[in-house]
Amino acid sequence: MTASVWLWIAFGLFVPAMLALDLGVFHRRSHVVSLKEALTWSGVWIALALLFDAVVWHSRGRDKGLEFLTGYTVELSLSVDNLFVFLLIFAYFKVPARYQHKVLFWGVLGALLMRAVFIGAGVALLQEFHWITYIFGALLVVSGLRTAFKMDKEVRPEKNFVLKLFRRLVPVTPEYHGGQFFVKSGKPWLATPLFIVLLLLETTDLVFATDSVPAVLAITTDPFIVYTSNVFAILGLRSMFFALAGAMKLFAYLRYGLGAVLVFVGAKMVLAGFYKIPTLASLLLIVGLLAMAVMASLLHTARRKRRRVSRKSLCAMENRCWLFCRLRRAKNYSIKPKTQKMSHA
C-alpha cells in the first residue's frame, strides 16, 4: 500500500482512540474543566497536530507539510471565532459548567461527520467544475468583510428552523436532568434543554463549515490534507473553549484579523487561475495577520486598563479634595464664633 493509504488508516484509528480516551478516561465523570486542565489539553492537541504535520512532511514531502500547517492554522483561527457564539449559546440556555464539556464532545462528533460530507462534496465540485473556484473565492471575500465589520453576534434560537421543527415533533422538558439528553416520562421520551443546546451547536457548526471548508480548499484540494487539518482544529476546539472562555473580551480586534484572513484566502482562490501564491508565503501572511490582530487587541486592553486606573485615581483625588474642602469649611465655621466672642469681650 502507498504512504497515503497508510496515513488514512493511521489517522482513522487515531481519532476514535483519542476520543475514547478523552471521554472514557479523562472525562468519564462530568466536572467543571479548570483553566489548568484546559491549557494542558490545548497544548496536547496543538503538539499532536504539529507531530502529525511532521509525519506528513516526512512521508509526502515539504509542499504537503506546508499545506497541512497552513490549513490547520486557518481552521484553528476560524475555530476561535466560533467560541464567541458557543459562549453566547451556553449563556442563553444557562448550561451548567460541569455539563458543557459533554455537549462539546458530542458536538465534535457531529461536526466531524458534517465536515467529511462538506469536504467530499467541495473537492468533487472543484474537480468537476473549475468555475466554482471563483464562487467559493467570492463567498470567502464577502464572508471576510462581514466578519470584520459585523457588530456583536446575537443568538436567537427562536428563529432556528431546525430547532423549531424539532420542538414541534419532540416535547422538551423545562429543566435540566443532570447530563442526560433524553428522559422517559411515561410513554414518550422527552428531550432535555441539554439536547436542544447540542442541536443548536450542530446547526451553528453547519453554518461555520460554509466558511471554513472553502477556506482550506483555497490552500489545497487534497482531501486528506483538508480533512485532517479540519479534524485537528475541531478536536482542539473544546479545550480552547475552556481556556479562552474567560479571556474572550481581551481580543477586541481579532475579528478584523479573521476577516482579513478570509478575504486573503478568497482572493487567493479567485487568482489561482492567473497566479498561484506560494504556500509558504500564504502561511507567513496568515500568521502575520493573526499576530497583528492579537497584538492590537492586547495593546487596546492594556490602554483601557490604564485609562480605568487613571480615571479611578482622578475620582479618588476629587473625593479627597472635596473632603478636604468640607473639613476646612467646618473648621472655619467652628472657629469663627470664638474669634467674634473674644473681640466682643
CA-to-CA dists, residue 41 to 110, 235, 240, 249, 333, angstroms: 21, 10, 8, 22, 68
* Beta strand spans in 162-216 (E): 182-184, 189-191
DSSP-derived secondary structure for 116-161: HHHHHHHHHHHHH-TTHHHHHHHHHHHHHHHHHH--S----GGG-H
Distance CA 301, CA 206 (A): 32
What pLDDT is recorded for position 192? 87
What pLDDT is recorded for position 51? 92
Distance CA 260, CA 257 (A): 5
Q: What is the pLDDT along the chain (345 residues), one digit of tens a residue?
A: 555 778 888 888 888 888 777 666 666 666 667 777 778 888 888 899 999 999 889 888 888 999 999 989 988 888 776 777 787 788 788 888 888 888 888 888 888 888 888 888 888 888 787 778 888 788 888 877 877 776 445 556 667 777 788 888 888 888 888 888 888 876 678 888 888 888 888 888 777 777 788 888 888 888 889 899 888 888 888 777 777 766 666 677 777 888 888 888 888 878 877 777 888 888 888 888 888 888 888 888 777 777 766 666 666 676 667 666 766 666 555 545 544 444 444
Half-sphere exposure of 190 (CA within 13 A, CB side): 14
CA-to-CA dists, residue 335 to 148, 299, 321, 328, 338, angstroms: 66, 54, 21, 11, 6
